[in-house]
A and B are shown apart, each in its own frame.
Chain A
Amino acid sequence: MTAQTMVPGPEVQDPAQAAPPAGLTRTNRVRLLGLAGCIVLLLTALFLSLAVGSKDVPAGVLWNALTAYDGSPDHVVIHDLRLPRTVMGLLVGIALGLSGALIQAMTRNPLADPGILGVNAGAGFFVVLGVAVFGISSINEYIWFSFGGAVAATLGVYALGSSGRGDSAPLRLTLAGVAVGAVLGGITSGITLLRPQVFQAMRYWGAGTLAERDGDMVSTVAPFILVGTAIALALARPLNAVALGEDTARSLGAKVGTTRLWTVVAVTLLCGAATAAAGPIGFVGLMIPHVARWIVGPDQRWIFVYTLALSPVLLLASDVLGRIIIRPAEMQVGIVTAFVGAPVLIWLIRRRKVSGL
């Protein structure tokens, strides 16, 4: 039996009884239009990511490179460097945004970001161990250590925090994630501060970057991200019920424990793969779900879809900006993301009609 979404909201058709607007858009038609607008933004971001860089490529050449590849230097740049990088940015953006939306829906805590399950801390810890103990240095090796660490940390957090009953369960999970993240982060800091060469490796990995990501890496992480996305979209309806509180959700037929389990699985897959591919990038998973909710209201189905469209926009726009600010050098995308997103966030909260947390 599927959970019925009973979230009261602006879908009431009778104007005399319309509930107060829960988002900037009031009807599904406006939301669809907004979604079309977001997809246009996404296509623009994809285009810019392919065309702009230390050498700008005109649109005609770009089109030829994608359809009639002929080995010329421009085509090589597009095909071998920018195309994998763009696709990686798209996947990582989707993964970060959706995992943030999942976490905020499950823990009902607006300060939560995907790192709260200890994913980033676990990834960093395993990478530090890899560098310090096994001496790994190539990005391919980083990917597997990072993903393994993310999974291990999340398993630990879930085992510790999942025994909560009732409405304290999200809090227990949050605290368990904070605790495990703190321990792993502390040990990681300790190791990096005792070993200079490890510190050096970590300060570059820790910035979060999409540079030097080739097609092999994309095909390594893509399956995890696609599976995670599918699970996340399927969880949108049960999470609508969970948002009403555990007792109400159960009485509506939603399986709360199963939902929570699958949410953790999805967040691990998405955030673990994203961190493995690009290093720890914060802020996207925190900001985009808030923005999506302000536009569409509290219905998780719409929030997830808007997050899917908007988070790659933020990530790709930041990547493009990082490529042109200090040409021909690059600024890492993890650094630029906050500078692109934060002003937008602040502008949005100063609007009159924005609803509270």
Chain B
Amino acid sequence: MTPARSGPTPVAPPDFGHRTVVLRTAGGRFSVRFGLRSALVTALLAAVALGLAIVALGIGEFTVSVPDVVSALLGHGTGAVHMVVVEWRLPRVLLALLLGAAMGLSGAIFQSLTRNALGSPDIIGFNTGAYTGALVVILLVQGSYLQTSLGALAGGLLTAALVYLFSYKKGIQGFRLIISGIAVSAMLASVNTWLILKASLEQAMSAAVWGAGTLNRVSWDHVLPVALSTLLLATVLLCFGKNLALLEMGDDAARALGVRLEVSRLVLVVAGVALTAMVTAAVGPIAFISLAAPQLARRLVRGPSVSLLPSAAMGAFLLVASDLVAQNAFAPTQLPVGVVTVSLGGCYLIWLLAREIRRK
């Protein structure tokens, strides 16, 4: 008589090509698996971003040392230090972290969905339309900051709807959407150029400053809506994020693996647009982070394609660093942060590309 087996035979775990870590709850009901390098890169980037944020809280016309900053954050700060750190600078730094992460996420979503390294929310013409809306408010109506934000939001959403409408013909085909986006963006870019040409020099310059994206006029009023929206969208992405990698394998493979194609794509696109809309409404269209952060994160993680969390961490880091430079490089003149993101992000990308050359 053969003795009964004591349990199921252990099976060798599959080889993913990189080290992975699995976390399981006690009963084994919930588990999550992530790549080790990806987790390390995300943690490192987040730590650097937070460190830079704390340093940024201390730098400015009124310098505060790092220990004082930390104690002020923990609630032990005295009068002037508390006012400078918590009331003036903290909202700006918090927004830089949140909005940078939002842009990184949005860029990763679009680059993954379009399978194109140049994919960005602007393929549906959102940023250009937002700029048109803002220009109309600034130049024709001479509106306030809030009205500019609303105008930008309205312009962007209308443009996205228009692009969707033009590309809808018994369903959405990817390339029709892209080409419609290009066409509508180009038309609106022309309108923007015309409006800027026709305005007076001062108006045109202030419009151009908004168009570059600036954190100059943010306050605590902005932080709560941004934080809530980011939380909501992050929850959505938590559920649908893993579908991104599956969608990249092609429609048939994804369907065979149980992904509901139309629902996933729609939710992901709406989430990506919502993230971009939130950033544009809060501080204007900040260029380049949604384009560069996923590519930079991908090169650090050495993954097959863009991934969500590392892109978010990289985006947060890029925006905090850029804001630090924008505020202090040409003091007392403050540059719009969008100008610096473009330059710094580009330099970092060049450095990474150059390093790849030397390694080969």
Chain A residues within CB distance 8 Å of chain B: 109-112, 160-161, 163, 165, 171-172, 174-176, 178-187, 189-190, 192-194, 196, 199-200, 203-204, 206-207, 282-283, 286-287, 290, 331-332, 334-339, 341-343, 345-346, 349-350, 356-357
With contact pairs A179-B349, A207-B193, A282-B189 given, residues A196 and B183 touching in the complex (Cβ less than 8 Å): no
Name A's interface SS: helix
Determine how close the nearest CB of chain B comes to the CB of A117; give it in whole angstroms. Answer: 13
B197–A204 touching, CB < 8 Å? yes
Interface segment out of the listed B42-50, B171-179, B257-265: B171-179
B187–A207 touching, CB < 8 Å? no
A286–B182 touching, CB < 8 Å? yes
| Cross-chain pairs A/B with CB under 8 angstroms, 14 sampled | A109-B116, A110-B175, A160-B353, A165-B360, A171-B117, A179-B349, A186-B341, A194-B330, A203-B197, A207-B197, A286-B182, A331-B194, A341-B183, A356-B173
Chain B residues within CB distance 8 Å of chain A: 116-119, 123, 166-167, 169, 173-176, 178-180, 182-184, 186-187, 189-190, 193-194, 196-197, 201, 204-205, 208-209, 212, 287-288, 291-292, 295, 330, 333, 335-336, 338-347, 349-350, 353-354, 356-357, 360
- A163: contacting residue among B287, B343, B357, CB under 8 A: B357
- A342: contacting residue among B174, B183, B291, B357, CB under 8 A: B183
Cα–Cα distance between A286 and B187 once the two chains are bound (Å): 13
Determine how close the nearest CB of chain A comes to the CB of B241; give it in whole angstroms. Answer: 24
Task: Collect the chain B residues with CB atoms within 8 Å of residue A346's CB.
Answer: 166, 179-180, 183
A339–B343 touching, CB < 8 Å? no
With contact pairs A110-B178, A282-B186 given, residues A175 and B116 touching in the complex (Cβ less than 8 Å): no
A345–B346 touching, CB < 8 Å? no
Task: Collect the chain A residues with CB atoms within 8 Å of residue B193's CB.
Answer: 206-207, 332, 334-335
Determine how close the nearest CB of chain B comes to the CB of A124; give it in whole angstroms. Answer: 13
Cα–Cα distance between A199 and B212 once the two chains are bound (Å): 14
Determine how close the nearest CB of chain A comes to the CB of B331; give it in whole angstroms. Answer: 13
With contact pairs A179-B353, A189-B212, A193-B209 given, residues A345 and B117 touching in the complex (Cβ less than 8 Å): no
B343–A190 touching, CB < 8 Å? yes
- A111: contacting residue among B123, B197, B349, B360, CB under 8 A: B123
Determine how close the nearest CB of chain B comes to the CB of A262; give it in whole angstroms. Answer: 21
By beta carbon, the residue of chain A nearest B344 is A186
A342–B169 touching, CB < 8 Å? no
By beta carbon, the residue of chain B nearest A337 is B190
Determine how close the nearest CB of chain B comes to the CB of A255; give it in whole angstroms. Answer: 20
Task: Collect the chain A residues with CB atoms within 8 Å of residue B287's CB.
Answer: 182
Determine how close the nearest CB of chain B comes to the CB of A156; give it in whole angstroms. Answer: 9
Task: Collect the chain B residues with CB atoms within 8 Å of residue A357's CB.
Answer: 174-175, 178
Cα–Cα distance between A187 and B343 once the two chains are bound (Å): 6
Cα–Cα distance between A76 and B182 once the two chains are bound (Å): 40
Cα–Cα distance between A282 and B349 once the two chains are bound (Å): 24
Most buried by A among B167, B176, B339: B339
B186–A341 touching, CB < 8 Å? yes
B339–A109 touching, CB < 8 Å? no
Task: Collect the chain A residues with CB atoms within 8 Å of residue B349's CB.
Answer: 175, 178-179, 182
With contact pairs A189-B342, A194-B333, A331-B194 given, residues A178 and B179 touching in the complex (Cβ less than 8 Å): no
Cα–Cα distance between A343 and B190 once the two chains are bound (Å): 14
By beta carbon, the residue of chain A nearest B166 is A346
Cα–Cα distance between A336 and B342 once the two chains are bound (Å): 28
B186–A342 touching, CB < 8 Å? yes
Task: Collect the chain A residues with CB atoms within 8 Å of residue B167's CB.
Answer: 349
Task: Collect the chain B residues with CB atoms within 8 Å of residue A189's CB.
Answer: 208, 212, 338-339, 342
Task: Collect the chain B residues with CB atoms within 8 Å of residue A185's CB.
Answer: 342
Task: Collect the chain B residues with CB atoms within 8 Å of residue A339's CB.
Answer: 187, 190
A338–B190 touching, CB < 8 Å? yes
Task: Collect the chain A residues with CB atoms within 8 Å of residue B350's CB.
Answer: 160, 176, 179-180, 183
- Across the A-B interface, give the 7 residue pairs with the lowest CB-CB distance, nearest first: A186-B343, A182-B346, A186-B342, A183-B346, A338-B186, A179-B349, A342-B183
Determine how close the nearest CB of chain A comes to the CB of B358; give it in whole angstroms. Answer: 9
A193–B343 touching, CB < 8 Å? no
A193–B178 touching, CB < 8 Å? no
Determine how close the nearest CB of chain A comes to the CB of B110; give it in whole angstroms. Answer: 12
Most buried by B among A112, A182, A207, A336: A182
Determine how close the nearest CB of chain A comes to the CB of B212; give it in whole angstroms. Answer: 6
By beta carbon, the residue of chain B nearest A181 is B346
- B360: contacting residue among A163, A286, A335, CB under 8 A: A163
Task: Collect the chain B residues with CB atoms within 8 Å of residue A171's CB.
Answer: 117
